[in-house]
Amino acid sequence: MTTKEKIIESAISVIQSEGTANYSLAKVAEKTGMTKAAIFYYFKNKAELTRSLISYTIDAYETVLQEEYQLAKAHSFFPFTEAYIRGNLRQLDDEKLVGLHAALIGTVVSGEAIEDDWNEAYLRDFKRLVPEIGGEQAEFVRYTIDGMWHARILGIPEFANEGRKSVAEMLLSIVKQK
Domain ranges of the chain: 1-44, 47-176
CA distance 32 to 114: 25
CATH class of 1-44: mainly alpha
Higher pLDDT, 160 or 144: 144
pLDDT digits (tens, 9 = 90+) for 36-79: 999 999 999 888 888 888 888 888 889 999 999 999 999 999 99
pLDDT digits (tens, 9 = 90+) for 72-89: 999 999 999 999 999 999
Indicate the pLDDT class of residue 115, thresholds 50, 70 and 90: low
pLDDT at 107: 67
pTM given for the model = 0.82
Q: What is the mean pLDDT of the chain?
A: 86
